[in-house]
Amino acid sequence: MLTRRELLQTLLALAGSWAALPSTSRAAPTGTSAAPFSYDWLRSEARRLAAKPYIAPSENVPAWVEQLDWDAYQSIRFDPQHALWRAEGLPFQARLFHLGLYFKHAVQIHEVVDGLAYPIHYSAGLFDYGERVGQPERLEDIGFAGFRVHVGPDFERDMFSFLGASYFRAVGGTKQYGLSARGLAIDTGLARPEEFPEFRQFWLERPGPESTGVTVHALLDSPSVAGAYRFRITPGEMTLMDVDAALYPRRAVERLGIAPLTSMYQYGENDRRVSDDFRGEIHDSDGLSIHTGSGEWIWRPLVNSPVLRVNSFLDRNPKGFGLLQRDRDFDHYLDDGAWYDLRPSVWVEPVGDWGDGAVQLVEIPTADETFDNIVAFWNPAQGFVPGQEQRFSYRLHWGSQTPIPDPVAAVISTRIGAGGIVGQKNRPPSRKFVIDFEGGRLDGLTAKASVTPVITASRGTLSDQAARPLLGTKAWRCSFDLLSEGDEPVDLRCYLRDDEGGALTETWLYQWTPASARGAC
């Protein structure tokens, strides 16, 4: 199974090398059959599909496609003069991906014009195959692997793409790709392999001359579920995706993941278990943020766990959650190739009430940055069984900041080291935790202000609890020591409050694994 990191590496290598459709797909496309299309029709089609036995996608691709290696796949290019919607001078252009390498399941792609869907057919005239591949001998309609959309006036950089299973991704103002989203996650983090639903067909609505966004529809299918999706996508400093999903199960699902996000965390300032590299940090995201239904803000720093680990944060009608890249200091990464400091955050904003459930965080061990090891999603408490339609609507925010300003101070760093006092004889084998907060009502407070740390641990002994302004900065620093025995993880919780007991900061949550259980500090 293709990892999202392999997908990302392929897309980065292909950036700037793809274009799309020839002028045979212009105006109201001619020479091809059209069918009425609407989102209501797509929902009924997904419902009809779910009532039938699952049929796996065909991998019967021509031998020359099967044999494409990395370099050969990269050498296949579209003619940039033939991007979909280019001839009409529209503010967006759609470009398609060729089958091959990791992408061998063809998807059907349609253009929707005035309520009619026109299929887009593969043609050799769409591609320049280069000397490495040469002109294929057989040119049957093999379909496409996916697509990406560019926004003017700079059509050189793409805004979002759909490629591989139900994966998709977008950029914000930094124009830098990073983590991905998925249409659906099924049984992620269980003891058995997870199921990867796939988008099997797409319908791209032609934008108007004054359009500020693009609408994409998708049909999802897997052994457990069929679904209809509508994406209304608006570019900007914060790229917005308004998503509506209608799901129809074929069978009961043990762990359903709604609005799943997939990212990478190898190491950072709080976790250096795997850090044999000249760069100070390597991650697409450094924390999970949750705005609970009760209004509490939670920050959970990510960890490169030594074992598969799943944490559940129970909630009712969450206001939002996301995988964020808060640390945007280039000096912390020193990587002018991957540009981790520019990677987007993604915030999930539910639309309507989602009821009872949990935000679940899956952390998987990884030895390097080529493997995506972090997944976060909403797991509804309501059962997911055949015969029922389940609808979920939400907005995805892709950009450098969360869309809702924190009313309280945010965690800006988490550091862990040896406990006790430096130079002290018989220094206890404790661990020191140092958390820096900044913003909200903390700004402007002096050392004379009454600020109290509220810290709890699931086991072990806490000592040396303190909170003070961090000199030379706007931040406040909270620190404490933890002394614990055994190999079991310790759940920690911390926030700062004032005299009236009101929270000055978001709540910092952490699951610390003793070094004896993870092999390194």
pLDDT for residue 31 = 53
Q: Are 454 and 468 in contact (CB under 8 A)?
A: no
Radius of gyration of the chain (CA): 25
CB 159 within 8 A of CB 174: no
pLDDT of residue 104: 86
**CATH level 3 topology of 410-512:** Immunoglobulin-like (2.60.40)
Report d(CA 490, CA 487) in Å as an integer: 9
**What is the pTM for the complete model shown?**
0.91
Residues facing 257 on adjacent strands = 185
For residue 119, say if its preceding peptide bond is cis, omega within 30 degrees of 0: no
Q: Are 243 and 71 in contact (CB under 8 A)?
A: no
**Tokens in use for 270?**
């709080």
Contact indicator for 197, 229 with CB cutoff of 8 Å: no
Locate CATH 2.60.40.10 in the chain.
Answer: 410-512
Q: What is the pLDDT along the chain (521 residues), one digit of tens a residue?
A: 445 455 545 544 444 333 333 333 445 555 568 999 999 999 999 999 999 999 998 877 888 788 888 888 888 877 778 889 999 999 999 999 888 888 889 999 999 999 999 999 888 778 777 777 766 665 678 889 999 999 999 898 899 999 999 999 999 999 999 999 999 999 999 999 999 999 999 999 999 999 999 999 999 999 999 999 999 999 999 999 999 999 999 999 999 999 999 999 999 999 988 888 999 999 999 999 999 999 999 999 999 999 999 999 999 999 999 999 999 999 999 999 999 999 999 999 999 999 999 999 999 999 999 999 999 999 999 988 898 899 999 999 999 987 777 779 999 999 999 998 887 776 778 999 999 999 998 988 888 899 999 999 999 999 999 999 999 899 999 999 999 988 899 999 999 999 877 899 999 999 998 876 555 43
Q: In angstroms, rounded to a whole number, what is the distance separating the alpha carbons of residues 466 and 452?
A: 8
Tokens of 282: 């390597």
Query: What pLDDT is stored for residue 68 in this prediction?
Result: 83
User: What is the DSSP track for 397-441?
Assistant: EEESS-SS--SSBEEEEEEEEE-S-TT-TT--S-EEEEEEEESGG
- Give the length of the chain: 521
Q: What are the helix and strand counts (H, E) for the chain? A: 6, 33
Q: For 83, what's the count of Cα atoms within 13 Å in the CB-facing half-sphere?
A: 25
CATH fold group of domain 35-399: Beta-galactosidase; Chain A, domain 5 (2.70.98)
Q: What is the DSSP secondary structure assignment for residue 119, as one 8-state letter? A: E
| Upper half-sphere CA count for residue 417 (Cβ side, 13 Å) | 8
φ, ψ (nearest 5 deg) of residue 231: -115, 120
| Dihedral angle sign, alpha carbons of residues 266, 270, 272, 275 | positive
Tell me if residue 492 falls in helix, strand or coil: strand
Q: Give span(s): CATH 2.70.98.10, the chain.
A: 35-399
Report the 10 Å Cβ neighbour count for 223.
Answer: 13
